[in-house]
Amino acid sequence: MNEVPQNDQTDEIYRLYGKAVHHCFNIEVCCAFLLRGPELRKNRNLSELTPEIIDEVGRKLDRSTLGQLTQKINIHFTLTREDKIYLEKVLDNRNYLIHEFFGTYGRTMYLSETWPEMLNELQELLTFFEEASSIFAKWSGISDFS
């Protein structure tokens, strides 16, 4: 397999990809933070909460996947149809970025003709995740990550 040349365009591909992934992580942090209260209250009285239980619930949420977190959000919160669709879109776009983006371009990634298409797609994904990160920060009460 040919190696992807290093130049300004390929450097920009990796830069945009990294920024988009960073915003995906911010979304996961917000979801985990948003779920701490409902998960702590689940099946227990507040008087039963200890620092150890609080830490354990936090660790479990922090290790959860975005898919697991969005499922819990759907369980604990009353969401509008639009909110549910948006959560699904965030998850789908995140999974595409992480699991499929580079595979989509596969062997053509080393061709300079492919780079503009990759850059355009990454810029669209980055814009989407920047906006989603801000929305999730507001939902969870975390200061905006921007």
Percent of the chain at pLDDT > 70 equals 95
Among candidate residues 136, 142, 128, the one with its CA nearest the CA of residue 19: 128
Tell me if residue 80 falls in helix, strand or coil.
coil
Measured CA distances, 122 to 13, 50, 70, 73 (Å)? 7, 44, 23, 27
Among candidate residues 23, 18, 14, the one with its CA nearest the CA of residue 90: 23
Does the pLDDT at position 11 exceed 80?
Answer: yes
The domain containing residue 117 runs over which residues? 8-140
Number of domains forming the structure of the chain: 1
pLDDT for position 43 = 67
Kindly report, residue by residue over 92-106, the tens digit of the pLDDT: 999 999 999 999 998
Within-domain flag for 87 = yes
* Mean pLDDT to the nearest integer, 62-82: 96
Within-domain flag for 38 = yes
DSSP string, 13-58: HHHHHHHHHHHHHHHHHHHHHHHHHHHHHTTS-GGG--HHHHHHHH
Within-domain flag for 2 = no
- pLDDT greater at residue 4 or residue 6: 6
Q: Write down the pTM of the prediction.
A: 0.89
Within-domain flag for 15 = yes
Kindly report, residue by residue over 13-67, the tens digit of the pLDDT: 999 999 999 999 999 999 999 999 999 988 677 788 889 999 999 999 999 999 9
